[in-house]
A and B are shown apart, each in its own frame.
Chain A
């Protein structure tokens, strides 16, 4: 991720080589690798980047291949036009299937795609239009002037590998890729910065379907034949093995395709005179052995080799020059109600976690929600942010009802959040964690300067201390282009050192000064008393007192419920 050199241009080398070589067999193998690499890059987008393990990648290859072949045979379309139709139909099919299957989590999705693959193979084998077991034959071979019929598929395949790799790498570095990675590691964070999870996953799946479609079209053009046996589960699993072998990096996926295809080809040529069943069995065993070996002994795959080529760490820019970020003032009269909750009720099973809580917070106001463990504080906050579906009550954001909007929509309307169980993406760098939706790159360094993390900007978050990781969450809110209207913070001070608490309080005050309404849940009463304008006390989900800190914390009912007999604050 750190190096931004265009490694994907390496994929042009085989294309150039294929222009020179004239021996058919190496060209055929090169073409096969290229075709599989295209499908595998598509699969890597959905499996690695979006975390959706699809076993139906060959099904979308089949859809592309059959569509193009049928257009060619029945409508007499030229190869290029038929191929474009194939890619489009594959992408649209992936969008439709994705709309259904992406509602499933992880393994259920995998099994759903497995069943889809079996269903599709059965249909291709038996519905007459697809030519049954024999498939569609006598298709036009790919012809390019100046190239032999053997050279053309290999050259085109590797040109497309380069193009596909370039596109995938560019998307991975853009907002789309950051959103997918964030979603994979922590759906909550992705939501809180305004990414729409469903749309991201569906886009990734549609894109992978388009890649598969292109691979299928090329396969039909290379073989002049399409039949169901090209698109079975064994082939899908071979693609999964390529992605697993490649590891996280997309260039690694191409390496995975090279390794897997070569292993299959070598095992086949070693058994050239063996009966057909033996070859089929060996294919299966190769799949199994490679997958087990990589998953068990080399889970990072070929990507781990990248460290050999990585240049030594670049020095970070001098930190003194960057002014710490301050939230830009909002155009709002202090005290205007920013967020209002009315009669919120929420049950887990038979127990009310929150029952009849109402709360209105004005712009520039800081309100704390306190109460003993299990009082419903966190539940209230998650309902305001939209992380639990609402069961009873209303939530208004600046007078607009938002209780039925999903969390990412509320985030886009100006609700920012930090979480109780810290939500940072440990595998991503500090900078990537902060650089979220609705954030310009220029906003990152000042935000990091404000929480004293500038020196660690390019380190993975997993290397930071607990308190520093909390500060990453804070920087994420600070870096937003637009100052949030509402900031929800769940126990922001827990686990922080004293200097970190001071910095936290400063940031919270800066937000309030800019006009943000801050709602924070906190156990540390001393911290709260010195910071907030108003306190709401909950006990067993019911509001028992509300008021300014100095008077409220002397109320007997509060002391009894929360502070115990020996009041801490005298």
Chain B
């Protein structure tokens, strides 16, 4: 039971990071209709910069700002390559361009940070005790930050004029343009928001996991699986998907083996993608005799 609670809290913290990746996918996909596979790499870049600054004793605030800045640079680079410079590409070509950009970001991270794994500087973490379960208080902080970031994003989209302009662009770029919404700026803004959540997520990930140059691939796949659960457009359901996957991964690595995390992500993705259609087909098959009888 003790172990289970421990796994659950680990899972919620990592799942919160997945949720932030998923939200990055959702915002970009809704506004510019691109599946941005480099989203996980924004996070990996932010994580590495955050941990590097923390280890250089730059202080939490500077490190967090550095994380957001790193994600922002990466995001504006991808936006430049995949969206604006050549006009609007078809979805496959845009996707391949983000894939190429993801390779470039990973290559740059490898050149800057090498293959070493970065972790938080060792200091006594605040221990929180719940009965006889003890765990790292940072995990709770991370979960809280993720929930606040998520709530902030939803409020921004649904309660502010700028958010409405973004949603209008998402629904119909042409109509939005006719209503004097600067569509191109909205695309940039979507990437900026994706970078902001990646910066926050990167700092959070650094606090609870290991930073490495190739963490982006795992994060991208996990975040995409979560985003699909939200139909690529609902941030709240995407976040629920992220938390679910995080908890499942924590349980699998706790009770089975940690290397099964990536296979689990694959299974989760396939189930999430195919379950709705399969259920619908099953329901139709079951309904068929009834209609014949009627």
Q: Which of A106, A118, A288 contacts B107 (CB 8 A)?
A: A288
Q: Is the pair A280, B262 in contact by a Cβ cutoff of 8 Å? A: no
Q: Quick one: CB contact mask for A394-413 with B, threshold 8 Å, 1 for yes?
A: 00000000001000000000
Residues of the B chain whose Cβ atoms lie less than 8 Å from the Cβ of A103 = 274, 277
Q: Quick one: CB contact mask for A277-312 with B, threshold 8 Å, 1 for yes?
A: 110111111011101100110010000000000000
Q: Is the pair A111, B224 in contact by a Cβ cutoff of 8 Å? A: yes
B136 at the interface (CB under 8 A from A): no
Q: Is the pair A291, B96 in contact by a Cβ cutoff of 8 Å? A: yes
| Alpha-carbon distance between A122 and B266 when the two chains are bound, in angstroms | 11
| Alpha-carbon distance between A472 and B81 when the two chains are bound, in angstroms | 39
Q: Is the pair B101, A118 in contact by a Cβ cutoff of 8 Å? A: no
A108 at the interface (CB under 8 A from B): yes
Q: Is the pair A107, B35 in contact by a Cβ cutoff of 8 Å? A: yes
A477 at the interface (CB under 8 A from B): no
B99 at the interface (CB under 8 A from A): yes
Q: Is the pair A291, B92 in contact by a Cβ cutoff of 8 Å? A: no
B177 at the interface (CB under 8 A from A): no
Residues of the B chain whose Cβ atoms lie less than 8 Å from the Cβ of A12 = none
The stretch of B45-53, B110-118, B125-133 in contact with A is: B110-118
Q: Is the pair A104, B101 in contact by a Cβ cutoff of 8 Å? A: no
Interface of A is mostly: helix
Q: Is the pair A110, B95 in contact by a Cβ cutoff of 8 Å? A: yes
| Alpha-carbon distance between A244 and B103 when the two chains are bound, in angstroms | 16
Q: Which of B93, B103, B259, B262 contacts A285 (CB 8 A)?
A: B103
| Alpha-carbon distance between A44 and B277 when the two chains are bound, in angstroms | 29
Q: Is the pair B97, A123 in contact by a Cβ cutoff of 8 Å? A: no
Q: Is the pair A107, B270 in contact by a Cβ cutoff of 8 Å? A: no
Q: Is the pair A285, B104 in contact by a Cβ cutoff of 8 Å? A: yes
Q: Which of A111, A278, A289 contacts B221 (CB 8 A)?
A: A111
Residues of the B chain whose Cβ atoms lie less than 8 Å from the Cβ of A292 = 81, 97, 100-101, 104
Q: Is the pair A119, B96 in contact by a Cβ cutoff of 8 Å? A: no
| Alpha-carbon distance between A108 and B225 when the two chains are bound, in angstroms | 10
In whole Å, how far is B215's beta carbon from the nearest beta carbon of chain A? 12
Q: Is the pair A119, B270 in contact by a Cβ cutoff of 8 Å? A: no
Residues of the B chain whose Cβ atoms lie less than 8 Å from the Cβ of A475 = none
| Alpha-carbon distance between A137 and B95 when the two chains are bound, in angstroms | 37
A116 at the interface (CB under 8 A from B): yes
Residues of the A chain whose Cβ atoms lie less than 8 Å from the Cβ of B221 = 111, 114-115, 118
Residues of the B chain whose Cβ atoms lie less than 8 Å from the Cβ of A381 = none
Q: Is the pair B103, A287 in contact by a Cβ cutoff of 8 Å? A: yes
Residues of the B chain whose Cβ atoms lie less than 8 Å from the Cβ of A110 = 92, 95
In whole Å, how far is B22's beta carbon from the nearest beta carbon of chain A? 13
Q: Is the pair B115, A277 in contact by a Cβ cutoff of 8 Å? A: yes
A234 at the interface (CB under 8 A from B): yes
Interface of B is mostly: helix
Q: Is the pair A284, B103 in contact by a Cβ cutoff of 8 Å? A: yes
Q: Is the pair B108, A281 in contact by a Cβ cutoff of 8 Å? A: yes
- Per the CB 8 Å criterion, the residue count for chain B at the interface is 49
Q: Is the pair A281, B107 in contact by a Cβ cutoff of 8 Å? A: yes
A125 at the interface (CB under 8 A from B): yes
Which A residue sits closest to B85, measured CB to CB? A296
Contact A288/B100 with A112-B273, A115-B225, A281-B107 known, Cβ cut-off 8 Å: yes
A237 at the interface (CB under 8 A from B): yes
Q: Is the pair B266, A296 in contact by a Cβ cutoff of 8 Å? A: no
In whole Å, how far is B97's beta carbon from the nearest beta carbon of chain A? 6
Q: Is the pair A108, B273 in contact by a Cβ cutoff of 8 Å? A: yes
Residues of the B chain whose Cβ atoms lie less than 8 Å from the Cβ of A104 = 273-274
In whole Å, how far is A96's beta carbon from the nearest beta carbon of chain B? 12
A21 at the interface (CB under 8 A from B): no
In whole Å, how far is A282's beta carbon from the nearest beta carbon of chain B? 7
- Chain B CB within 10 A, most for which of A240, A244, A291: A291
Q: Is the pair A119, B107 in contact by a Cβ cutoff of 8 Å? A: no
Which B residue sits closest to A283, measured CB to CB? B107
Q: Is the pair B270, A101 in contact by a Cβ cutoff of 8 Å? A: yes
Q: Which of B220, B262, B277, B288 contacts A119 (CB 8 A)?
A: B262
Q: Is the pair B266, A107 in contact by a Cβ cutoff of 8 Å? A: no
B55 at the interface (CB under 8 A from A): no
Q: Quick one: CB contact mask for B243-268 with A, threshold 8 Å, 1 for yes?
A: 00000000000000101111101110
Given A111-B37, A119-B262, A404-B288, output 15 extra A-B contacts at Cβ < 8 Å: A103-B277, A104-B274, A107-B95, A108-B273, A114-B221, A115-B262, A115-B269, A119-B263, A278-B111, A281-B110, A281-B111, A284-B106, A285-B107, A291-B103, A292-B100
Interface CB pairs A-B, < 8 A, 13:
A53-B96, A104-B274, A115-B224, A115-B225, A118-B266, A119-B266, A233-B217, A237-B99, A280-B115, A287-B103, A289-B100, A289-B104, A295-B93
